[in-house]
Amino acid sequence: MSITGSTHYLNIRTEIHFDQASGAPPAEVNSESNGCSINILLPTCWTTNQAEEFRKKYDWLIIQDRKLGCTNCRQAGSNQYESALKIAHVQPAPQWVDINIKKNGLTKIKQQASLRKKLNEHEHSRAHQKIVELIKKIEAKEFALDEIAANMQKDSQKATERIFRTVYNLAIKCRPFTDLPSDIDVQI
């Protein structure tokens, strides 16, 4: 560990800045993932070790400006997944999408407990689990094929129902079946 000005630097996969004046826990972390450097502010009740542990445990966790969010819910909140979410009847929680989960409580222990509880509840929530499942399916392109097949089947069934209704209508009115092609053309 070396001291430079009013900042300590640790180099363990992340660069951690300590404020010597306040003696506060690490406030800013420069994390390198995929070759890009990202500045994040940790919640004040967390140490960098705790943040790393939570990131390992919850791979979807986003930490930004002392708030938490979810990468999966954020990804699902984009327009790309809108139709899939409607079909699955799932809506991502806006506070997780907007990275707006904050700590609650007056003491450090209560604040840590509130964040742990929120993380655990979110991971086990029906919406989060469905979103993770949908993202995996879409990335595997299974969902798109299933959706296309289901829509084709529904369209085919509707067309068949219309034709049967037209035939039934012709039979009830004692009309010749030579009228059938013109009646079907009118429907389309």
Q: What is the pLDDT of residues 132-187, one digit of tens each?
A: 988 888 777 766 667 777 878 888 898 899 889 888 988 898 888 888 888 777 77
Domain ranges of the chain: 2-140, 144-187
Percentage above 70 pLDDT, the chain: 76
CA distances in angstroms from 31 to 27, 56, 70, 97, 147, listed in the order given: 13, 14, 17, 21, 39
Q: What is the pLDDT of residues 65-113, one digit of tens each?
A: 889 999 998 888 877 777 778 777 888 888 998 898 999 999 999 999 9
What is the distance between the alpha carbons of residues 163 and 155, in angstroms, rounded to a whole number?
A: 13
Give the model's confidence band at 10: pLDDT under 50 very low, under 70 low, under 90 confident, else very high: very low
Quick check: 113 and 105 in contact, CB under 8 A? Answer: yes
* pLDDT value of residue 145: 65
pLDDT at 36 over 70: no
pLDDT at 16 over 80: no
Give the model's confidence band at 40: pLDDT under 50 very low, under 70 low, under 90 confident, else very high: low
- The mean pLDDT of 15-40, rounded to a whole number, is 43
What is the distance between the alpha carbons of residues 31 and 40, in angstroms, rounded to a whole number?
A: 8
Greatest CA separation for the chain: 98
N-to-C CA span, the chain: 76
More confident residue, 145 or 55: 55
* pLDDT value of residue 143: 62
Q: What is the pLDDT of residues 121-147, one digit of tens each?
A: 999 999 899 899 888 887 777 666 677
Sign of CA dihedral 117, 118, 120, 124: positive
